Structures are given as C-alpha cells and as structure tokens.
C-alpha cells in the first residue's frame, strides 16, 4: 500500500508551523498507524531530514499518549480506538492522509504532533482524589458497594486522559474528561465527603486552564476511545448546581 501523508511540522512552541507532504510506500494492511509513522520517519532519517515527532508509549490503547488528528478525526476513523489501535486497512491504497496535533489553546504544540497536556494534570491535582487518610490497603469487601454503583464508577474510570474529547469539541471543552474524573469518585462511598468541594474546585481549574464550555454537541463521546457517555456531564452539572445551592443555604 502507498499513501501520501500531509503532516503538521512545527519546530517548537514559537514556530508558526506548516503542513509538509510525504509519500510512503511498502505499507501493509496489518500495520498500525504508528508503525506507518515509524516507517515514514525511517525514510526521512535516511534522506537526512528531521523525523516527525509524535507521542507514544504502550501502543495498546492504554496510555492515551498517541494523540493525532487523522483526516479531521481525533485518533482516526475507528470508533472506540486510540491512534495506535488504528490499522492501515482502515484506509484505501493511495489515500491522502492529513495528520495534525490536537488543536486547543489549553494544549499548546511542543513540536510537530506533540502537545502539552499538562493542563489535565493540574485539573486532577485540584481535586481528583480522595483526601482521607485510609491507612493500609483495606480488604476488598470491607465497604459494600452496590453493583450498579461499581459499574458506573468503572465506566467513568476508563478515561485515559488522552484529550480526544477536547480535540473533537468545537469549543475545546474538557467536560467529558472532567466529568469522568469527578464521576468515578462521586459514584463511590469513599468519594462522598469531598464530593461538593471537589466538583467546584475541578470546574474552576478546568476554566482557568482555558478549556471551553460544553454546549452539548456530543462530538466528545463520538471521539472518545473508551466511549465514555455524556451522561457523566449531566451528572457533573447536577453535582455543581447542588454544590452551589448548598453554599447559598449555608450563607
């Protein structure tokens, strides 16, 4: 298989950046998209050119670092898959593929396809944890949790923080990510003591980082490699309103 790759090249944070076009041949249908990018980089290195910088780690759809926009779709055309899980059989021989980094003010480009996603870390640091000192690891059955609550918590905890929701959203909102991080703790008894404070501090951190507001377009759920539901955003809104009303009553 042969492809024409039009890829974003940017030397550093201050560089204006540009699109560059390359031809890559000898690609097999069973290659992953990242393996195709590896082959392109080998080709560039042999030609004495700078390889394309891109993030990757596990290449198993676990870490979420392989963030790329492929033909305008976050992670590419496969539903419920990260870039590393997309295979070249998803495209036709001779296709022209446009590859770009996440486009969001909160995710500045570091180089080529690598973006700074540390904004997510700061949102988590603002309240995405349980602050109580639990001591040693408790027995797994020490705190009985209904099955429906377990399932809901696990559904939210699947979020890998890749940023596809931000890249796909026209507003560059991180509300799906935020609601998953708030939601998995909010569904469990261990997360209840700080539930009201958590939602307020994390929403405030989200806004400080420059993410946009949610307008219920739904692109985030469609792009999410773990297919996290926008129902968590609705729960986040309910928790936020409850928290705000509680503060008014106390005042």
In this model, does residue 133 exceed pLDDT 90? no
Give per-residue pLDDT as tens, 42-95.
Answer: 999 999 999 999 999 999 999 999 999 999 999 999 999 999 999 999 999 999
Give per-residue pLDDT as tens, 214-242.
Answer: 999 999 999 999 999 999 999 999 999 99
pLDDT at 220: 97
Task: Report the DSSP pairing between strands 69-70 and 96-100.
Answer: antiparallel
In this model, does residue 248 exceed pLDDT 70? no
Q: Is 138 exposed, middle or buried (0-12, 13-18, 19+ CB in 10 A)?
A: exposed
**Where along the chain do the CATH 1.10.1060.10 domains lie?**
117-133+142-250
Q: What is the mean pLDDT of the chain?
A: 94
Confidence bin at 134 (pLDDT 50/70/90):
low
Q: Quote the CA–CA distance of 151 and 155 in Å, as a whole number.
A: 6
pLDDT exceeding 70 applies to what percent of the chain?
98
Residues 6+ positions from 206 with CB-CB distance below 8 Å: 123, 174, 175, 178
Contact between 111 and 11 (Cβ < 8 Å): yes
Q: 3-110, which class in CATH? A: alpha beta
pLDDT at 166: 98
In this model, does residue 107 exceed pLDDT 70? yes
pLDDT at 207: 97
Residues 6+ positions from 136 with CB-CB distance below 8 Å: none
- Whole-model pTM: value is 0.92
18-24: strand order across its sheet: 18-24, 3-9, 96-100, 69-70, 73-74
Contact between 159 and 177 (Cβ < 8 Å): yes
- Pull the structure tokens for residue 247: 């503060």
Q: 195-208 and 118-125 helices cross at what angle (nearest 10)?
A: 150
Identify each DSSP E strand in the chain by its residue range: 3-9, 18-24, 69-70, 73-74, 96-100, 109-111, 114-115
Centre a 10 Å sphere on the Cβ of residue 83 and count the other Cβ atoms it contains: 30
Residues 6+ positions from 113 with CB-CB distance below 8 Å: 7, 8, 52, 53, 54, 55, 67, 68, 99, 100, 101
**Where along the chain do the CATH 3.10.20.30 domains lie?**
3-110
Task: Kindly indicate whether the domain formed by 117-133+142-250 is annotated with CATH number 1.10.1060.10.
Answer: yes
pLDDT at 228: 97
């Amino acid at each position: 298989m042969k492809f024409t790759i039009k890829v974003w090249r940017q030397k550093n944070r201050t560089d204006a950046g540009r699109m560059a076009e390359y031809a890559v041949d000898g690609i097999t249908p069973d290659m992953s998209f990242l393996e195709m990018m590896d082959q392109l980089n080998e080709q560039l290195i042999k030609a004495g050119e700078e390889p394309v910088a891109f993030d990757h780690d596990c290449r198993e759809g676990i870490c979420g670092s392989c963030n790329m926009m492929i033909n305008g779709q976050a992670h590419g055309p496969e539903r419920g898959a990260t870039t590393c899980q997309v295979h070249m059989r998803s495209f036709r021989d001779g296709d022209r593929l446009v590859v770009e980094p996440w486009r969001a003010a909160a995710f500045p480009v570091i180089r080529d396809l690598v973006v700074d996603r540390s904004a997510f870390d700061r949102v988590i640091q603002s309240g995405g944890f349980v602050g109580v000192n639990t001591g040693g690891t408790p027995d797994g059955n020490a705190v009985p949790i209904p099955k429906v609550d377990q399932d809901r918590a696990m559904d939210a905890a699947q979020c890998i923080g890749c940023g596809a929701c931000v890249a796909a959203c026209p507003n560059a909102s991180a509300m799906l990510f935020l609601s998953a991080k708030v939601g998995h703790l909010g569904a469990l008894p261990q997360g209840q003591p700080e539930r009201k404070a958590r939602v307020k501090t994390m929403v405030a951190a989200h806004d400080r980082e420059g993410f946009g507001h949610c307008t219920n377009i739904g692109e985030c759920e469609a792009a999410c490699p773990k297919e996290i539901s926008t129902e968590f955003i609705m729960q986040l809104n309910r928790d936020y309103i409850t928290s705000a009303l509680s503060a008014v009553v106390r005042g």
